[in-house]
Chain A
């Protein structure tokens, strides 16, 4: 499967990559985007099976990117990996079409629980 990781921090993209491996989800193709605009472009061109996106990014936020994808007919499974996990954020994420919201700091266990339904 192909996973698109979107975060403006290279450090966090590497942490997400490492945590996917620690959670047992190695062997998947990984694609990266460094902001919301790149995320939309990559989601449409690379056709990933899952998007893991930060919320707060320059050029376009993660939720703006998700809304743009859904408006364009792209139904890619999408989850947020973000430092904010308030009930309001979770509601906004769900209404925009996200399947889950993982808060930072996260562990491999959390990834395993949240992503198993999508990645198997």
Chain B
């Protein structure tokens, strides 16, 4: 039992339709961008019968647009705290849906947000699936990373 890129696409599209593109005017386009970005990476750890991370990575510009869309603000008004909160919550929603596709029993951790994460050791692991997309002209990527038992991040209390 393992999620696939198609699963990630379906979940991401539901999240976008519900929260970021409610009027259909700013869709998540399922086309790989020219260049991926790890300016901002938000993730939730899954632990238990399976260990790893569910990740949402995007450019700085996309993170601002996402925070602005979720908070109903202009993108130049959002703070770093708003971005962390917004991206963390998107990772939480996506992660919760991905978790149901993973071996049980597992628990979902609280979201973490890392910036400029190209060489971040947090992202070491075996990628089992990914979904690459473009949103507002910016790269957006959802992936699932499996880690050796006992690693992955904070667990919920």
For window 90-143 of chain B, which residues contact chain A by CB distance below 8 Å? 92-97, 99-100, 104-105, 108-110
How many contacts between A and B, using CB within 8 angstroms?
70
What chain B residues lie within 8 Å of A105 (beta carbons)? 14-15, 17-19, 93
What chain B residues lie within 8 Å of A106 (beta carbons)? 18
What chain A residues lie within 8 Å of B15 (beta carbons)? 105
For window 16-67 of chain A, which residues contact chain B by CB distance below 8 Å? 18, 56-61
What chain A residues lie within 8 Å of B14 (beta carbons)? 105
Comparing B27-35, B57-65, B81-89, the segment that makes contact with chain A is: B81-89
Task: For chain A, give the interface size range.
Answer: 20 to 34
A interface, by DSSP: helix, strand, loop or mixed?
loop
A61 to B110, CA, bound (A): 11
Q: What is the minimal beta-carbon distance from B43 to any residue of chain A, in angstroms? A: 13
In the complex, the answer to whether A18 meets B105 with C-beta atoms within 8 Å is no
Q: A11-B67, A58-B157, A61-B156 are in contact. Are A83 and B95 (CB under 8 A)?
A: yes
26 A–B contacts from the bound complex (CB under 8 Å): A9-B89, A11-B70, A11-B85, A14-B70, A14-B72, A15-B19, A56-B156, A57-B156, A58-B110, A58-B157, A61-B156, A83-B93, A83-B94, A83-B96, A83-B99, A83-B108, A84-B97, A84-B99, A84-B100, A84-B108, A85-B100, A104-B93, A104-B96, A105-B18, A106-B18, A107-B18
